[in-house]
Amino acid sequence: MDWTLPPGVSTFAADIDRMYYLILWITGAAFVIVEATLVWFLIRYRSRPGRKARYYHGNLRAEVIWTAVPAVVVVMIGIMSGGVWNEIRGRDSIPPNAVPIEVRAKQFEWNATYPGPDGAFGTTDDFTARNRLTVPVDTPVVVRLTSEDVIHSLFIPAFRVKQDAVPGMTVNVWFQVTETGEYALACAELCGNGHTTMGGTVEVVAQDAYARWLEVESSRRAASR
């Protein structure tokens, strides 16, 4: 049985994965303790002729211990998770210099709009690509995510990114990728009959390549307009 997560390539992937492995160890230990005790008791205290169960109603000290220990452990898990959560989703977590991309989901495609070389939306050099997200490596990127029809969910497993795209709302979701390459993108929220086909690709390119790509794409699309 393989309990490892697939490789993560964003700055906070390691934090998420660390939380996961921490919880895996803690729950794994609890699992082994409880199941082993159960099996041991079933064997050790099985009914045999001449043996009678001991008659008592409980043990306050034991109960206090097994109330307090889980309470402390889960609160600890909560606090640690909260720290990472804040880092990813906290109020000021989005780096101010993040490169903005607008992603509008609709049945059954992802439309990514780039501000073009001028870095501003609503200008003539904006352009839109379907089912293909291109982002620079080692640069914070903020996706302004919304939906035109039903709820979708932007899921990029390798980045440890998942965020619902809700019609009528724009949610900012950010990430910073650490390795160039092509990664899968999927819809994680049931969005209709074509839900399964709503996949795409994220291409992570070097920073200078990204700037060049913006120029080329922008002028190419302007020419075709």
Partner 1 sequence: MTSVAAPIEHGGHADAHAQSFVRRYIFSTDHKIIGIQFLLLSLVGLLVGGSLAMLIRWQLGFPTQAMPGGGILPETMAPGGVLLPEFYNALVTMHGTFMVFFAIMPLLVGVFGNFLIPLKIGAADMAFPRLNMASFWIAVPAFALMVVGFFVEGGHAGAGWTSYAPLSANPEWSGVSLGQQIWCVSLVVLGLSSILGATNYITTIINMRAPGMFWFRLPLSIWSLFITAVLTLLAIPILSGAAIMLLFDQTIGTTFFLPPDGGQPLLWQHIFWFFGHPEVYILILPAMGVVSDIIANGSRKPIFGYHSMVYAIIAIGFLGWIVWGHHMFQSGMNPTLGMSFMISTLLIAVPSAIKTFNWLGTMWEGSIRLHVPMLHACAFVSMFVIGGLSGVFMASTTVDIYIHDTYFIVAHIHYVLFGGSLFAIFGAVTFWYPKMFGRMMSRFWGYVHFGLTFLFYNLTFFPMHQLGLGGHMRRIYDPTEYEFLQPLQGTNEFITISAFLLFAVQLIFALNFIVSWFTGEKAPENPWQDTGLEWTTPSPPPHGNWPETPTVHHPPYEFSSPLVEEDYLMQDRAAGKETP
Residues 86-125 that bind partner 1 (CB under 8 A): 86, 88-91, 107
CA distance 206 to 13: 20
φ and ψ of 64, to 5 deg? -60, -40
CB 168, min distance to partner 1, A: 3
Neighbours of 196 (CB within 10 A): 11
Neighbours of 176 (CB within 10 A): 21
Nearest to 214 by CA among 99, 117, 122: 117
Nearer to partner 1, 96 or 168 (CB): 168
CB 180, min distance to partner 1, A: 17
Nearer to partner 1, 86 or 124 (CB): 86
Q: What x-and-dash track marks residues 173-212 binding partner 1 by CB under 8 A? A: -----------x-xxxxxxxxxxxx-x-------------
- 141 binds partner 1, rule: CB under 8 A: no
Nearer to partner 1, 100 or 199 (CB): 199
Neighbours of 107 (CB within 10 A): 17
Strand (E) or helix (H) holding 165: strand 161-165
Residues in contact with partner 1, counted by CB under 8 A, come to a total of 85
Q: Which among 95-103, 117-125, 159-167, 213-221 is the span making contact with partner 1, rule CB under 8 A?
A: 159-167
Task: Pick from 35, 118, 138, 215 the residue near partner 1 by CB under 8 A.
Answer: 35
Strand (E) or helix (H) holding 60: helix 60-89
Site residues (CB under 8 A) for partner 1, limited to 36-65: 37-38, 41-42, 45-48, 51-59, 62-63
Q: What is the DSSP annotation of 126-195?
A: -EEEESEEEEETTSEEEEEEEESSS-EEEEEGGGTEEEEE-BT--EEEEEEB-S-EEEEEEE-S--STTG
CB 211, min distance to partner 1, A: 29
CA distance 141 to 112: 13
Q: Which among 19-27, 116-124, 130-138, 215-223 is the span making contact with partner 1, rule CB under 8 A?
A: 19-27
CB 11, min distance to partner 1, A: 14
Does the bond joining 108 to the residue before it have cis omega, within 30 degrees of 0?
A: yes
Task: Pick from 122, 130, 168, 225 the residue near partner 1 by CB under 8 A.
Answer: 168
